[in-house]
Structure 1
Amino acid sequence: MLVSAETGVMYAWGDDKKENPIECMLVKTEGDSEEWQPLGFNSIEGFTYIKGHEYYLSVKRTILANPPADGSDRTYSLIRILQDRLVTEPEIPVDEEITSEEDIEYQDLCPFEKYAISKGYIVDENGKIVYDDGYDSMLPSYSSARIWLEDVLDKEDPNWVKFESVPYMAIYSFVLSPFTDEIRLVRNESHGPMFKDVVPEDEFTHITQSMQSGEEVRYALILANVYKKGLQKVEFTIKKQ
């Protein structure tokens, strides 16, 4: 089985109107269709999928004699991972009509306060990145660091259950940079977008090499769902040490 580095969308049994898209893996199985097929993230027993990785797997497939009415007629379990390759994800194109923040359409009931970025960042001339909370906790390298999104939604909110559904999950981020008027769209991982996708290498180099000590810049992310409709706006700062 080949597993794509990119994800797709599937719909639950009974969702005939396709109102609630579910993010999923895209797979090709030997002997089946040559087209990519959707498969749920937890559908291969013993296998954990990481976005951005392309896998070639050896799996055991079991055909069920009496499948559940609302489920698949087959199950999969991992035998071994034959290949695991990190793939650089291409930049996601932004709709040509979106040239400013005002052009971003919001999902119904949005914006709302579900996500937060709890910390800012401090960088030095060597590219070292630490949080700005007073603790000398160095982050991973520039290429491995992440902008962490924290779910802070109050469970007493009357729409809490609704806001936990797919249309209110932050799948993408529109990036508003202090260095350009161009709006970029990046994919969020399970806990937020990668630092390098939000702060491109040329901007990071400018911060580390050209900014003065104590100087600070502010980035904004407009979190968006699978339809690329806005959910809320969050901000964070990067300060030169």
Structure 2
Amino acid sequence: MSHQFYVSSLGDRLVDDALLPERIRLFLRQEERLLQEVFHSFDSLVEVGSMHGLHLNFAAASAKPYLGLDIVERYVAEGNERVADLGLPAKDYRFLARGVEELGEISAPGRRPLVFAPFNCLGNITDLPGALNGLAAGGFPFLLSSYHTDPLSTRCREEYYSACGYGDVRMHRDALGVRFTATDGLDTVAYEPGYLIAQFADKGIEVEVVSFGDIGAAYISSGLLGDRPADARPALP
């Protein structure tokens, strides 16, 4: 997705609760459950594509430091304002106008930070090789949330983007994955696991694919979930 798509506020619709179909709300609940399962062994959260702080409250409720990274300066300003409004210490809760490509140059909070990219942020990044280079340079354990590419996941995504009011939503499938575009500037892809695992491997990164809910696929640093089956999909509530 282009930087301008978010600068113009069109991207805000993607996280507007009033526009989210129930399947996507369920996806987000399952995503947070997976984050909770992983996060207990870490002492801080670095959220990539944080917008105004999608998981700021989650980190604060866990009493662990938080760093939000987003390339849209408006989101960074809004996030830092939220920190002040919530009365959180700025030294422990803050936002920077940086991207995942710059992880190797960033001083992360805590001794053991978890890098978390929510809600298919990975599929919205224009420069995938640069993003993977950043993950490799940072060397931090990570959890990257995305979607499966099966018919159900694809149908749910199409309903979601249409519910956001984007014009002429179209689906494109190729060897890389399932991409959706719209005339407003929407451009987001759910990668085929085999393709993405190969891209990680080219950067020397070992990754596992873990299913969550009925449409979610997470790319996780190898070993973070111990003996949890990689293809386990939690039962719907």
Could you say which TM-score interval applies, normalised by the shorter chain?
under 0.3
* Greater helix fraction, Structure 1 or Structure 2: 2
The TM-score, its normalising length taken from structure 2, stands at: 0.25
* Greater strand fraction, Structure 1 or Structure 2: 1
